[in-house]
Amino acid sequence: MTEPLQLPEPQLKRRLGLWVTTLTGVGVILGSGIYVLVGVAAGEAGNAVWLSFMIAAAVAGLTGLSYARLSKIRAKDAPEFQFVGMAFKPSLAFLAGWLILWAVVISASAVALGFAGYLSHLLGTPVIPAAIGLVLVSSIVVFLGIGESALLAGILTFVEVAGLVFIVVIGVPHFGEVNIMEMPMGVAGTIGAASLVFFAYLGFEGMANLSEEMKNPQRDLPRAIMLALGISTLLYILVSLAAVSVLDWETLGQSDAPLALVAAQVLGSNAGLTLTLVALFSTANTVLLLLLGASRAMWAMSCAGALPGIFCVIGEERRTPWLAIVVVGFFASLFAVFEDIGDVAEFTNFATLLAFAGVNAAALKIFNRESTLSGFRRIFLDIVMPALGLVTAVLLAINTGWRAASFGGILIAVGLIVYLVSGAVLRRTLK
């Protein structure tokens, strides 16, 4: 197999340990999804919405396990590019990295629009300028450095977790008052809701983009990924149980701010206002972390020769990939102009799930080729788990709809052109 051309890589500062990385992962996974999606999902799954979150967690966990195990072999930024490149040819590695890079950028736009929607509801501000403003401020924080970004993200993560714990606390006295297995649309509705809330788990894959700023990534990154998924899943299930225990699922399904409605139902309008403020912190935190991960992925792919080498630069004082940060912030602002969060989220899901399929396929091939396991453990961990991750990722991608698939096709075509052009330019430069 022809190896992708390598450029000399400047070094990032290694400052992150296990718990900071885990906290960062929890922050980006929780994001804004639970604050909106629990209502929409309840409209499909009824009181069994907690089960939809559990099913989505199982699907995310399959791919999360592949990421965690592959990170022990190669802990570097742009993980999809790295993992697929270990198993297949460079062009497929590039496409995996390219898809997830754009998925993260577009996801940042979607969450910024969510922030702008909450802000508009609160203050009457216009949506698009507010979304672009958040992207700009977040990009500045990312530029300042990984330490500053992680500190702010940690503070915001505690705020958003506190908001979810608050919902659980006010909902606990109502546990047992409803049938939590009530499924108005049957099992199909619950599974359909699981496909929807899968978006709420996206973000764990971006944790691997912090590999080269972690003190011991081979040891800590796999643990951080699984811990972040576990903590997020527990919170999602408890929050969804609390929500349907306080309000009927029909009311939740019709609300754009379901958790604020739950708080207002128990404690009055002031509590609803508090949850709105928490949602603002949550969305801002997620945009910050998504831009952080996307800029590191672009930097790493550029340093590996898969993207133009101009992006493989680090500021001498801040030690951050400043040009990649500028480019990522620009395109995140550009997608925010679309304004329709639903469309932007669908584009994100399709691109992400295709990249997840590539990672699971790589895990399947690599673990069968280089496994140190034997017997049942080898069959279960090296074959069954990544195969299930591959199949579920493909099935969910198919269900995202034709518009998302069309956008994905265009994204792949553009990616192939970029790959061919940047490779040709690089080879002429190195002659």
- pLDDT of 3 strictly over 60: no
Residue recorded with tokens 């700023």: 213
> Each residue of 403-425: pLDDT tens digit?
878 888 888 999 888 888 876 55
- Give one DSSP letter per residue of 88-123, joined into a string: S-HHHHHHHHHHHHHHHHHHHHHHHHHHHHHHHHHH
Strand, coil or helix: 16? strand
Show the domains of the chain with their CATH numbers. 18-421 (1.20.1740.10)
> Each residue of 339-394: pLDDT tens digit?
666 666 677 778 888 889 999 999 999 988 877 777 788 889 889 999 999 998 88
- Angle at the Cα of 326 from the Cα atoms of 324 and 330, rounded to 5 degrees: 115
And the tokens for 351? 């691109």
- What does each C-alpha distance from 114 to 111, 117, 193, 286, 288 come to in angstroms? 5, 5, 20, 11, 14
pTM recorded for the entire structure: 0.78
